[in-house]
Amino acid sequence: MTGVFRVPTRSLHSSTVLARGGPLRMDGWWVRDHRPARLPQSAEERKKSALRYGLRPEDYKTYDPDDYKQSTGDYPDLGTTTFAHKDPNEAWSDRRFRRNWAEPVPLHYERYRPDRITYTGIESEESHDPKQVFIGLSIMVAIMVGITYHFMSTAPNKWTWKNPMMPKQYPYDFYRAWPWNDPRKFPIVNYTFESANAEDDHHHGHGHH
Amino acid sequence: MGTKLSVGLEQRFNPDVSPRTDRPPTFDPLAGFPEGRKERKMVATWEEMDQWNLNIGQRDYCAHYLIDHLRCQKENAPFAGYKCEEARHHWNTCHYEDSLLRIKEFERERRLLKRKQRKEEAAKIAATQ
């Protein structure tokens, strides 16, 4: 949420920033180690910077220093070349990212990576092919029906998880009395694991009956 | 850990010694107890359970604790959650001990099934000799 508000807040102050010569010329805007290099002034410096970024001097172009959102000192403006722009059949050094060794990296390179879903919006149509959707759903529903059938079946020896526990004991046979008979007519004798002549169980001590 | 799985696997691959948990134990409950076993005592009376409107599932050996708990809840109506902590604890403990008993019954049934299988095998071997 803070990020939503930060940009317009900065925009409000852009006139102040520009009046003082832009962020590159303003003290305290950048952390010292992150501060971009000074823009090349002379032709000699332009040539030096171009070589530094692997470009011919005539291709070398910097961002507008007053564009404080993009200006990155002497880093070159390489334009926008997306992954989709690049020829898949070329012998790239890195075929996955379609990059050559030491190829200059555009400033917004991360926005146009190969894992981006679509560049044109046309590819997304392919996933809505009704036939494909039907096949996918059929497989999913078949698997779910199979799982449900297995776990709903009452077959005693089927494989499932199971607790090592006998059914709960009741003093009356409610099943036998159901529906209209009186369960008191069908008492069940259940046993604890204590011997018959042992003293009273301490567990049953906290009742007050 | 893994008990549920191992019990299920035994049921699947060795059903002869795996107790059926949809029915009470199949062996004589007094077999192997020379001094006999103490009977479980039902404390709550039928009239009492009718009075407190207990359903069939609640008419178990812990019903008297449940009735205590309901009575306490009625007496301490808006603060029952705090005041009836003890009564609730007794009822829960009773059910916990009831589960322990059921687990013991399962293990007894399982061991007796294994014993039965061993005896049958021994008898088979003795018959061939």
Q: Which residues of A touch B58 (CB under 8 A)?
A: none
Q: Which residues of A touch B110 (CB under 8 A)?
A: 164
Asked if the structure places residue B119 within a domain, the reply is yes
Whether B100 and chain A come into contact, CB under 8 Å, resolves to: no
Which residues, other chains included, contact A35 with Cβ-Cβ below 8 Å and sequence gap of 6+?
A: A73
State chain A's mean pLDDT as an integer: 83
Asked if the structure places residue B50 within a domain, the reply is yes
What is the signed CA dihedral for B8, B13, B15, B21, rounded to 10 degrees?
A: 10
Asked if the structure places residue B85 within a domain, the reply is yes
Asked if the structure places residue B89 within a domain, the reply is yes
How many structural domains is chain B composed of? 1
Confidence check on the interface: ipTM exceeds 0.85, yes or no: yes
Asked if the structure places residue B6 within a domain, the reply is no
> Do A159 and A144 form a contact (C-beta atoms < 8 A)?
no
Beta-carbon separation of B38 and A191 below 8 A = yes
> Do A158 and A150 form a contact (C-beta atoms < 8 A)?
yes
Q: What domain range is B116 assigned to?
A: 42-129
What letter would DSSP give residue A95? T
User: Counting beta carbons within 10 angstroms of the beta carbon of residue A207, is it exposed (0 to 12), middle (13 to 18) or buried (19 or more)?
Assistant: middle
| Chain A with chain B: Cβ pairs closer than 8 A | 127
Q: Nearest Cβ partner of B101 from A192, A196, A198? A: A192
Q: Read off the pLDDT of residues A54-112 as tens digits, 9 standing for 90 and up.
A: 999 999 999 988 787 788 888 999 988 889 889 999 999 999 999 999 899 999 998 88
SS (H, E, C) B69-82: HHHHHHHCHHHHHH
Beta-carbon separation of B102 and A162 below 8 A = no
> Among A63-67, A118-122, A155-159, where is mean pLDDT lowest?
A118-122
How many CB atoms within 10 Å of residue A146? 10
pLDDT of residue A128: 75
Q: Please identify among residues 140-199 of chain A the ones whose CB lies closer than 8 Å to any CB of chain B.
A: 156-172, 174, 183-184, 189-198
How many CB atoms within 10 Å of residue A6? 10
Asked if the structure places residue B7 within a domain, the reply is no
pLDDT in tens, chain B (129 residues): 799 999 999 999 999 999 999 899 999 999 999 999 999 999 999 999 999 999 999 999 999 999 999 999 999 999 999 999 999 999 999 999 999 999 999 999 999 999 999 999 999 999 998
Asked if the structure places residue B80 within a domain, the reply is yes
Whether B61 and chain A come into contact, CB under 8 Å, resolves to: yes
Beta-carbon separation of A166 and B19 below 8 A = yes
For chain B, the first-to-last Cα distance in angstroms comes to 44
pLDDT of residue A207: 45
Asked if the structure places residue B32 within a domain, the reply is no
